[in-house]
Amino acid sequence: MMKGIKKWRLFSLLTALMVILSGCGEKHLSTLNPAGQVGRDQLDLMLLSTGIMVLVIIVVLIVYVLAIVKFRRSKVGEDVIPKQVEGSHKLELIWTVVPIILLLILAVPTVVKTFDFADVSGMETVNEEGNKTAVTVNVEANLYWWEFEYPDLGIVTSQELVVPTQEKVYFNLIAADVKHSFWIPAAGGKMDTNVDNLNQFYLTFDDASDGLEEGVFYGKCAELCGPSHALMDFKVKSLDRDDFDAWVVKMQDSGAEQAVEGDVAQQGQDIFNKSCITCHAVSGAGTAGSVGPNLATFGDRNRVAGFMDHTEEDIKKWISNPKEYKPGNLMPQPEAINNGKKFTDQELTALTEYLMGLSVED
């Protein structure tokens, strides 16, 4: 009977805890609202460990509160000399063994999951035609921007990662300059992008992200990488497999001459081809390693420079003074690429018009 009551208490406690935890946070950003199996497993571990830990805290608190209430000097008397107890082997044994058991309960799933999450063997699986079945993304972290190359599909994009749902998406991670760390909190834990070596892991996404508030998951750089570390955000779009495949085809085709609509945009393209194209590619077909972010999907994006609003006004602000908005970033000031002059308002409008037209989505 007593045991039943205790169990019930623990259960209600865990339920309460889960309600509190799951009630928290934005769906596109919070580790408490996992978007896929990896994140879910990690949340389960979190709940398990939190449960065990809350249990420990409760035990400590009960002894603690009783002790400081019962044995205050005003209660036991001013001149009382307490019995000088040396210790108790039995108690020492209990509070050594019980924690060990509790830790084992946590250690087993920890070890299992550690190996699970490191298993990237599925990366190499091929179908009958010899094509890789899984999507692999080569992530290259650069000072304050992210490049995403799909080596098996021959496409490359930046700042906004696009992934298929309902399958493991594999990542090869590396940094181009200093160490960064690749983190999509809603999808699962982070992994560092080292300068020295390639790291590999995988994430999964259950549903297409268009149901989210802004239609994207938030990604973050989690390792201090310089002044604009805080601004090194990226976004993740998850698409159902069919949509993803369609997107891939469009990306592969974006290499063909894109129709530029209107005179203003045409002028923008001219300026772009004169000043910007050295660093920025506008074709999604290609490989990694460009100096600046690939802009093939610029018009489809959720942010400018990773963190500014995707509006014409902010694009102009960004182009005319990148150093101010993202301290320490490597994009040249306009004077350096436009014969020593700032861009005029008219030129900015043209560039903006052109950039906003760069799109592979409908």
Partner 1 sequence: MSSIAQKKGFGATLWDYLTTVDHKKIAILYLITGGLFFVIGGIEAMVIRIQLAQPDSDFVSAGLFNQMITMHGTTMIFLAAMPLLLGFMNAVMPLQIGARDVAFPFLNSLGFWLFFFGGIFLNLSWFMGGAPDAGWTSYASLALASPGHGIDFYTLGLLISGFGTLIGGINFLVTIINMRAPGMTYMRMPLFTWTTFVASALILFAFPPLTVGMVFMMVDRMFDGNFFDHTMGGNTIIWEHLFWIFGHPEVYILILPAFGIFSEIFATFSRKRLFGYSAMVFATVLIGFLGFMVWAHHMFTVGLGPTANAIFSVATMAIAVPTGVKIFNWLLTIWGGSIKFTVAMIYAVAFIPTFTAGGVTGIMLASAPLDYQLHDSYFVVAHFHYVIVGGVVLGLLAGLHYYWPLMFNTMLSEALGKWTFWLFFIGFHLTFFIQHFLGLLGMPRRVFTFGANQGWDLYNLISSIGAIGMALGVAVLVVNIIRTIVKNEKVGRDPWGDGRTLEWAVPQPVPFYNFKQTPLVRGLDTFWIEKQEGNKEGMTYAEPVGDIHMPNNSFIPVVISFGLFVAAFGALYNGEQPWAVPVLILGLVITFGAMIVRSLKDDHGYHVHKEDLMDEKGGKH
16 binds partner 1 (CB under 8 A): no
Q: Which of the stretches 108-116, 150-158, 235-243, 252-260 binds partner 1 when contact is defined by CB under 8 A?
A: 108-116
Interface pick for partner 1 out of 153, 155, 191, 282 (rule CB under 8 A): 191
Hey, what are 130's tokens?
A: 């010899």
118 binds partner 1 (CB under 8 A): yes
Hey, what are 350's tokens?
A: 């043209």
188 binds partner 1 (CB under 8 A): yes
Interface pick for partner 1 out of 2, 4, 83, 362 (rule CB under 8 A): 83
Amino acid at 302: N
Cβ closer to partner 1: 42 or 359?
Answer: 42
Cβ closer to partner 1: 2 or 85?
Answer: 85
Interface pick for partner 1 out of 168, 229, 235, 317 (rule CB under 8 A): 229
CB 226 within 8 A of CB 141: no
CB count within 10 Å of CB 164 equals 22
Cβ closer to partner 1: 173 or 315?
Answer: 173
Cβ 61 to partner 1 shortest distance, Å: 6
* Residue with tokens 């496409």, as numbered in its chain: 155
76 binds partner 1 (CB under 8 A): yes
225 binds partner 1 (CB under 8 A): yes
User: What is the torsional sign of CA 33, 39, 43, 46?
Assistant: negative
Interface with partner 1 (CB under 8 A), residue total 94
Site for partner 1 in 40-69 (CB under 8 A): 41-42, 45-46, 49-50, 52-53, 56-57, 60-61, 63-64, 66-68
CB 312 within 8 A of CB 299: no
262 binds partner 1 (CB under 8 A): no
C-alpha 210/C-alpha 238 separation (Å) is 8
Integer angstrom CA distances of residue 164 from 169, 195, 211, 245: 7, 28, 15, 8
* Residue with tokens 């509790």, as numbered in its chain: 102
291 binds partner 1 (CB under 8 A): no
Interface pick for partner 1 out of 13, 17, 117, 258 (rule CB under 8 A): 117
Which of 358, 26, 309, 295 has the alpha carbon at shortest distance from 145?
295
Bridge partners for 30 per DSSP:
none
Site for partner 1 in 317-346 (CB under 8 A): 327-328
Interface pick for partner 1 out of 12, 15, 110, 344 (rule CB under 8 A): 110
Cβ closer to partner 1: 156 or 231?
Answer: 231
289 binds partner 1 (CB under 8 A): no
Site for partner 1 in 204-223 (CB under 8 A): 218, 220-223
C-alpha 323/C-alpha 331 separation (Å) is 8
Cβ closer to partner 1: 92 or 335?
Answer: 92
Cβ 243 to partner 1 shortest distance, Å: 26
Cβ closer to partner 1: 211 or 327?
Answer: 327
C-alpha 106/C-alpha 45 separation (Å) is 8
Cβ 311 to partner 1 shortest distance, Å: 15
Give residues with Cβ within 8 angstroms of 237, minimum separation 6: 160, 161, 162, 163, 209, 215, 216, 217
Kindly report the backbone phi and psi dihedral angles of residue 168, in degrees, each rounded to the nearest multiple of 5, phi listed first. -75, 130
Interface pick for partner 1 out of 6, 92, 126, 263 (rule CB under 8 A): 92
Amino acid at 9: R
Count of positions (residues) in the chain? 362
105 binds partner 1 (CB under 8 A): no
Amino acid at 361: E
* Residue with tokens 């590396």, as numbered in its chain: 174
User: What is the torsional sign of CA 176, 323, 235, 183?
Assistant: positive
Site for partner 1 in 119-178 (CB under 8 A): 173, 175, 177-178
114 binds partner 1 (CB under 8 A): yes
302 binds partner 1 (CB under 8 A): no
Which of 22, 44, 17 has the alpha carbon at shortest distance from 32?
22
Cβ closer to partner 1: 4 or 87?
Answer: 87
